[in-house]
């Protein structure tokens, strides 16, 4: 709609004109329950905004996306809604120096996870509401000035159905049938929040005596749907919460500023979580209905701490515009791992960071859409897509490098000064760099230019020269920019070489066969070649690991001798972080078409069974699936799939009964099972005719086993319906929808396609489930007819649907499985013919096209290995 996509220029003009003194928002949510004769179902939203204008007589606009506006008044004068409201904006003319705007609107409940999301639990018919706004969906709930630098205090009031509880950012109290909430501190629109419904709610408290003797007490709460209450381990959530509050109070020297701390686990959530101050929202999948591994608990702890870090980085101090999104997301991503390792039981969090989070960053940084950590965000559509691997994981990796560069103490002291200097304000890049220069004495401008203001990833490769006695004469590190012979085609404008603080580790096999580090040196890598003088004279290494300890952000490459050692002895590396770094580097070689996919699969089959870190093992399984599905030569896929299934079943049978390794291998076996014997075993595990000692086939694992049976035609609609009857819950419904869409039938695919592309009846969660089931690697011929349909449909989908659903459809239905030159040509033809399409839509297609081109290059590499 016109005006829905706010531009940066418009936001800057409005910020120069306005300052906001406060909001009062009343929401009548009683319409959430009962029958509704109207579509869309709506609720009443009354907003009062008090604001000042720097130019009396000037004009501006307020933001609101709503089906109808009942009344608008500006400074006591009634305005005709039909004249001032266009569906996305309310025109405001002849402003006074001090103004009061009152807007009475009918806003729509959402089924897409944007704005005020309404969910009906199929298990008991209960209705649950929650809001999600970032970057700009609070205007779907109340009239406002929707940009991060127009902060203000808020007073919310909610009239909810009888028997419900409502929550918001401030402490609430039920008075005369209305929930009234304490006024917030000045915050941005996108982090205001409301949750309402018959939620199961658990309480606790956090207490601390501050350095000045003040006693700090923070009420804690955690909530979920009633149907999930039996699975809700709130005690562990509170434990991590308290450990995080201790850590941040110890290190930030700025007490938590937002009063209470509620955490809501909500249904059909699009994100992992959102940092609304005082009312953090999470996807309810963080409540585990069945047995999961330590990696799942670690992931939840990391997200809890990530969102908590936002209370300071993002909520207390907020970026001025979305260009500097990294000022909150990069810091929260880094601090999530930093605090988790130092304050919780998950002391191996940096291994997960190196193996998992950085993989996301490396992929994003090699796409044609890569951008500097500080990005150029023209408008809200750009902002929505910038919540990516660069902003989160690369930014966090760069901060990890920064800590190595300036030192931990200088980094944390810089953060403390930053909070105190800019509390409740908005900042840009220079504001942070200035305090870091003060505390470290380093030239932050040159560091920023190299790390924050350029795109792309460098590769670091060791070069070893030995003397006749088998000792190192010289060891150097070669640095190359993206686009070298060792990397895929570079994005436009890739960087000059960067300064890296790295550790270089030398490894040899000990007497027992273990591959252990016997020498290490830290060095500042500058330019194309850096000599590591400290290692001269060392015994000849069998493995040289550049970026040992994962201090910097780079692609690790190997010399020929090191690569040969890994092919034979990868499983002998005793240090789990070093092993994880090697796995990640080998995966990078595979993605870049420098190592055949079958070689990577072979390494996994040989050594993954010895992997002690469960998160690394799960990542290896995901990478191996991708290698087989996308990077293996078509003629080898069947053979490779059989080998993986055999290997997975072997590891499953020898894993410790009841162990998390057993569970992990069971899930992996289900994803690669395809033969009649494999499917019969899965069926037997479901019906009880087969058993593996210690493997508890709980409801979540039942769905994991049923999914491949459905995809291979061994479970029909009746079987899937029977499973839903066992698990008639919201989670069960999502699994059922995915399994139904996975069946190998042209009619099934047509129905799934129509339900997502031609209709908007499905909620966001069921759209996601349908897309997940639609494209199965064993069904390439069934999805081939949808290549042309995809390119015909996406522009219309983008125009007609919400941005979240548009992103889901454009990303999820791109025909990756039809990996041939014709599909690549179709993508190129669409891009050539749609140069005027929305930049965000073009970016999504361009990224998917690049993934396809990478897959084709890797397939050629893999095919050449068989020649």
Residue 809 and residue 756 in contact, taking contact as beta carbons nearer than 8 Å = yes
Whether residue 613 sits in one domain with residue 504: no
Q: Is 479 helix (H, G, I), strand (E, B) or coil?
A: strand
**Residue appearing with tokens 């070298």:** 484
Whether the predicted pLDDT of 269 surpasses 90: yes
In this prediction the pTM is 0.95
Summarize pLDDT for 682-706 with one digit per residue, the tens.
999 999 999 999 999 999 999 999 9
Summarize pLDDT for 163-202 with one digit per residue, the tens.
999 999 999 999 999 999 999 999 999 999 999 999 999 9
Is the link from the previous residue into 31 a cis peptide, with omega within 30 of 0? no
Whether the predicted pLDDT of 491 surpasses 50: no
Q: What phi and psi values does residue 367 have, to the nearest 5 degrees?
A: -80, 155
Mean pLDDT of the chain: 95
Q: Rounded to a whole number, what is the distance in angstroms from the first to the last CA of the chain? A: 55
- Please give the pLDDT value at position 442: 87
DSSP 358-413: HHHHHHHTTSTT---SS----BHHHHHHTSSTIIIIIHHHHHHHHHHHH-HHHHHH
Choose among 548, 549, 625, 620: nearest CA to 583. Answer: 620
- The catalytically annotated residue of 268, 307, 381, 542 is 307
Whether residue 500 sits in one domain with residue 480: yes
- Degrees (nearest 5) of the Cα angle 833, 835, 841? 105
Residue 337 and residue 399 in contact, taking contact as beta carbons nearer than 8 Å = no
Whether residue 380 sits in one domain with residue 475: no
Q: How far apart are CA 473 and CA 533, in angstroms?
A: 9
Mean pLDDT confidence for 518-546: 96
Q: How far is CA 103 from the centre of its chain?
A: 35
Q: How far apart are CA 271 and CA 261, in angstroms?
A: 19
Whether residue 303 sits in one domain with residue 381: yes
Name the β-bridge partners of 47.
25, 103
Q: How far is CA 319 from the centre of its chain?
A: 19
Tell me whether residue 775 is in a domain.
no
Whether residue 505 sits in one domain with residue 464: yes
The sheet that has 500-509: what strands, in order across it?
515-525, 500-509, 543-548
Q: How far apart are CA 83 and CA 73, in angstroms?
A: 12
Dihedral angle sign, alpha carbons of residues 126, 127, 128, 134: positive
Tell me whether residue 741 is in a domain.
no
Whether the predicted pLDDT of 2 surpasses 70: no
Task: Name the DSSP letter for residue 442.
Answer: S
Q: What phi and psi values does residue 223 have, to the nearest 5 degrees?
A: -145, 160
In this structure, the number of other CB atoms found within 10 A of the CB of residue 684 comes to: 14
Whether residue 217 sits in one domain with residue 94: no
Whether the predicted pLDDT of 205 surpasses 70: yes
Q: How far apart are CA 131 and CA 609, in angstroms?
A: 43
Summarize pLDDT for 427-479 with one digit per residue, the tens.
998 998 899 999 999 888 888 988 999 999 999 999 999 999 999 999 999 99
Q: List for the chain the helix, strand, coil content (%; round to 5).
A: 45, 20, 30
Mean pLDDT confidence for 25-51: 94
- Please give the pLDDT value at position 385: 80
Name the β-bridge partners of 157.
26, 180
The CATH number for 575's domain is 2.60.40.1840
Tell me whether residue 667 is in a domain.
yes
**Buried/exposed 664-675: b ≥16 CB within 10 Å, e otherwise:** bbbbbbbbbbbe
Choose among 58, 98, 55, 45: nearest CA to 76. Answer: 98
The alpha helices in 727-820, defined as continuous H runs, are 730-742, 746-753, 764-774, 780-783, 786-800, 803-812
- Please give the pLDDT value at position 652: 97
The CATH number for 70's domain is 2.60.40.1730
Q: What phi and psi values does residue 16 have, to the nearest 5 degrees?
A: -70, -25
- Please give the pLDDT value at position 161: 97
Token readout for 58 is 């000037």
Q: Which stretch of DSSP H or E encloses residue 476?
A: strand 472-480
Mean pLDDT confidence for 230-259: 97
Q: 156, 178, 196: which is the final residue of a domain?
A: 196
Tell me whether residue 761 is in a domain.
no
Q: 196, 213, 228: which is the final residue of a domain?
A: 196
**Residue appearing with tokens 């891009």:** 831
Whether residue 166 sits in one domain with residue 315: no
Summarize pLDDT for 467-477 with one digit per residue, the tens.
999 999 999 99
Contacts of 783 (CB under 8 A, 6+ apart): 749, 774, 775, 815, 817, 818
Whether residue 245 sits in one domain with residue 144: no
What CA–CA distances, in Å, run from 237 to 241, 299, 300?
6, 12, 9
Burial of 225 per CB tally in 10 Å (0-12, 13-18, 19+): buried
Summarize pLDDT for 5-35 with one digit per residue, the tens.
899 999 999 999 999 999 999 999 999 999 8
Tell me whether residue 604 is in a domain.
yes
Query: In which domain, by residue range, is 503 found?
Result: 456-592
Residue 479 and residue 458 in contact, taking contact as beta carbons nearer than 8 Å = yes
Q: How far is CA 168 from the centre of its chain?
A: 24
Local confidence band at 482 (pLDDT 50, 70, 90 cut-offs): low
Q: How far apart are CA 371 and CA 378, in angstroms?
A: 13
Q: Who wins on pLDDT, 846 or 380? A: 846
Q: Average the pLDDT over each of 28-32, 327-331, 386-390, 837-841 and give the range with the smallest value.
A: 386-390
Contacts of 652 (CB under 8 A, 6+ apart): 662, 665, 666, 669, 692, 695
Summarize pLDDT for 615-656 with one digit per residue, the tens.
999 999 999 999 999 999 999 999 999 999 999 999 999 999
Whether residue 324 sits in one domain with residue 230: yes
- Please give the pLDDT value at position 3: 62
Q: How far apart are CA 444 and CA 402, in angstroms?
A: 10
Summarize pLDDT for 92-148 with one digit per residue, the tens.
999 999 999 999 999 999 999 999 999 999 999 999 999 999 999 999 999 999 999
Choose among 825, 819, 742, 834: nearest CA to 784. Answer: 819
Q: How many domains does the chain have?
A: 4
Summarize pLDDT for 787-825 with one digit per residue, the tens.
999 999 999 999 999 989 999 999 999 999 999 999 999
Summarize pLDDT for 760-787 with one digit per residue, the tens.
999 999 999 999 999 999 999 999 999 9
What CA–CA distances, in Å, run from 664 to 441, 496, 603, 652, 708?
48, 42, 18, 8, 16
Q: 141, 173, 196: which is the final residue of a domain?
A: 196
Q: How far apart are CA 508 and CA 89, in angstroms?
A: 67
Is the link from the previous residue into 135 a cis peptide, with omega within 30 of 0? yes
**Residue appearing with tokens 């595990």:** 685
Token readout for 103 is 């807007």
Q: Is 348 helix (H, G, I), strand (E, B) or coil?
A: coil
Summarize pLDDT for 710-730 with one digit per residue, the tens.
999 999 999 999 999 999 999
**Residue appearing with tokens 């205007």:** 139
Tell me whether residue 778 is in a domain.
no
Q: How far apart are CA 476 and CA 646, in angstroms?
A: 42
Is the link from the previous residue into 707 a cis peptide, with omega within 30 of 0? no
Tell me whether residue 723 is in a domain.
no
**Residue appearing with tokens 């190592």:** 595
The CATH number for 307's domain is 1.10.390.10
Local confidence band at 350 (pLDDT 50, 70, 90 cut-offs): very high
- Degrees (nearest 5) of the Cα angle 484, 486, 490? 45
Tell me whether residue 114 is in a domain.
no
Whether residue 687 sits in one domain with residue 543: no
Q: How far is CA 722 from the centre of its chain?
A: 34
Q: Has 307 been annotated as catalytic?
A: yes
Whether residue 76 sits in one domain with residue 30: yes
Whether residue 431 sits in one domain with residue 389: yes
Whether the predicted pLDDT of 224 surpasses 80: yes
SS3 readout for 515-567: EEEEEEEEEEECCCEEECHHHCCCECCCEEEEEECCCCCCEECCCHHHHHHHH
- The count of C-alpha atoms lying within 13 angstroms of the C-alpha of 719, restricted to the half-sphere facing its C-beta, is 19
- Please give the pLDDT value at position 211: 84
Pairing of the two strands 89-92 and 127-132:
unpaired
Pairing of the two strands 273-274 and 279-283:
antiparallel
- The count of C-alpha atoms lying within 13 angstroms of the C-alpha of 44, restricted to the half-sphere facing its C-beta, is 12
Summarize pLDDT for 561-606 with one digit per residue, the tens.
999 999 999 999 999 999 999 999 999 999 999 999 999 999 999 9
Token readout for 185 is 């501190």
């Amino acid at each position: 709609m016109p005006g829905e996509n706010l531009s940066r220029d418009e936001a800057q003009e409005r910020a120069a004109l306005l300052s906001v003194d406060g909001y009062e928002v009343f929401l009548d949510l009683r319409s959430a329950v009962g029958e509704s004769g109207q579509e869309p179902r709506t609720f009443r939203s009354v907003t009062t905004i008090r604001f000042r204008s720097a130019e009396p007589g000037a004009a501006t606009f307020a933001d609101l996306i709503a089906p109808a506006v009942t009344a608008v008044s500006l400074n006591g004068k009634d305005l005709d809604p039909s004249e001032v409201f266009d569906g996305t904006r309310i025109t405001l003319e002849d402003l006074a120096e001090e103004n009061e705007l009152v807007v009475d609107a009918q806003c729509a409940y959402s089924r897409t996870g944007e704005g005020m999301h309404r969910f009906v639990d199929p298990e008991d018919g209960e209705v649950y509401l929650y809001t999600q706004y970032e970057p700009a969906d609070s205007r779907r709930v109340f009239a406002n000035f929707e940009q991060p630098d127009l902060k203000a205090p808020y007073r919310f009031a909610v009239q909810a159905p009888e028997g419900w509880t409502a929550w918001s950012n401030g402490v609430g109290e039920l008075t005369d049938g209305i929930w009234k909430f304490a006024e917030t501190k000045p915050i941005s629109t996108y982090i205001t929040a409301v949750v309402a419904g018959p939620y199961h709610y658990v309480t606790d408290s956090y207490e601390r005596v501050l350095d000045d003797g003040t006693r700090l007490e923070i009420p804690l709460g955690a909530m979920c749907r009633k149907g999930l209450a039996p699975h809700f381990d709130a005690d562990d959530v509170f434990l991590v919460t308290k450990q995080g509050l201790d850590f941040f109070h110890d290190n930030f020297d700025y007490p938590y500023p937002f009063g209470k701390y509620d955490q809501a686990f909500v249904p059909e959530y699009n994100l992992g979580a959102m940092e609304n101050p005082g009312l953090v929202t999470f996807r309810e999948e963080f409540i585990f209905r069945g047995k999961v591994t330590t990696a799942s608990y670690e992931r939840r702890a990391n997200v809890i701490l990530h969102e908590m870090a936002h209370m300071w980085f993002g909520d207390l101090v907020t970026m001025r515009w979305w260009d500097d999104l990294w000022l909150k997301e990069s810091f929260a991503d880094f601090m999530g791992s930093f605090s988790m390792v130092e304050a919780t039981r998950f002391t191996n969090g940096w291994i997960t960071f190196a193996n998992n989070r950085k993989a996301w960053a490396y992929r994003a940084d090699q796409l044609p859409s890569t951008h500097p950590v500080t990005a150029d965000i023209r408008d809200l559509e750009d902002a929505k897509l910038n919540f990516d691997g660069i902003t989160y994981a690369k930014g966090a990796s760069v901060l990890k490098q920064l800590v190595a560069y300036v030192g931990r103490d200088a980094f944390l002291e810089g953060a403390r000064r930053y909070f105190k200097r800019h509390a409740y304000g908005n900042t840009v890049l220079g504001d942070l760099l200035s305090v870091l220069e003060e505390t470290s004495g380093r030239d932050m401008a040159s560091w920023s230019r190299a790390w924050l203001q350029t795109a792309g990833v460098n590769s670091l490769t060791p070069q070893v020269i030995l003397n006749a006695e088998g000792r190192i004469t010289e060891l150097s590190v070669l640095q190359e920019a993206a686009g070298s012979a060792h990397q895929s085609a570079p994005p436009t404008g890739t960087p000059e070489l960067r300064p890296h603080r790295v550790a270089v580790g030398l490894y040899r096999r000990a007497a027992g066969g273990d591959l252990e580090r016997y020498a290490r040196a830290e060095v500042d890598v500058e330019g194309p070649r850096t000599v590591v003088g400290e290692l001269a004279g060392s015994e000849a290494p069998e493995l040289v690991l550049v970026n040992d300890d994962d201090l910097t952000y780079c692609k690790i490459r190997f010399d020929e001798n090191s690569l040969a050692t890994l092919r034979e002895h990868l499983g002998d590396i005793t240090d789990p972080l070093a092993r994880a770094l090697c796995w990640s580097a080998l995966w990078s070689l595979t993605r870049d078409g420098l190592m055949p996919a079958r070689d990577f699969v072979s390494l996994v089959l040989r050594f993954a069974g010895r992997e002690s870190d469960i998160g690394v093992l799960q990542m290896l399984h995901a990478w191996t699936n991708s290698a087989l599905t996308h990077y293996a030569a078509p003629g080898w896929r069947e053979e490779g799939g059989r080998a993986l299934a055999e290997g997975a079943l072997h590891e499953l049978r020898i894993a410790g009964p009841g162990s998390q390794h057993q569970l992990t291998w069971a899930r992996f076996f289900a994803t690669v099972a395809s033969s009649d014997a494999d499917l019969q075993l899965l069926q037997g595990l479901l019906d009880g005719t087969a058993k593996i000692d210690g493997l508890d086939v709980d409801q979540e694992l039942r769905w994991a086993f049923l999914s491949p049976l459905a995809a291979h035609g061994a479970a029909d609609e009746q079987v899937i319906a029977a499973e839903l009857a066992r698990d008639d819950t919201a989670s069960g419904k999502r699994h059922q929808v995915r399994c139904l869409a996975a069946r190998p039938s042209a009619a099934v695919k047509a129905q799934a396609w129509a339900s997502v592309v031609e209709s908007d009846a499905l909620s966001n969660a069921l759209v996601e489930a349908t897309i997940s089931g639609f494209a199965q690697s064993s069904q390439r011929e069934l999805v081939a007819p949808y290549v042309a349909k995809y390119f015909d449909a996406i522009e219309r989908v983008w125009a007609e649907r919400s941005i979240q659903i548009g992103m889901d459809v454009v990303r999820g239905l791109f025909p990756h499985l039809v990996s041939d030159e014709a599909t690549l040509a179709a993508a190129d033809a669409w891009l050539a013919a749609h140069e005027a399409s929305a930049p965000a839509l073009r970016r999504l297609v361009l990224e998917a096209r690049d993934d396809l081109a990478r897959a084709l290059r890797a397939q050629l590499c893999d095919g050449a290995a068989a020649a």
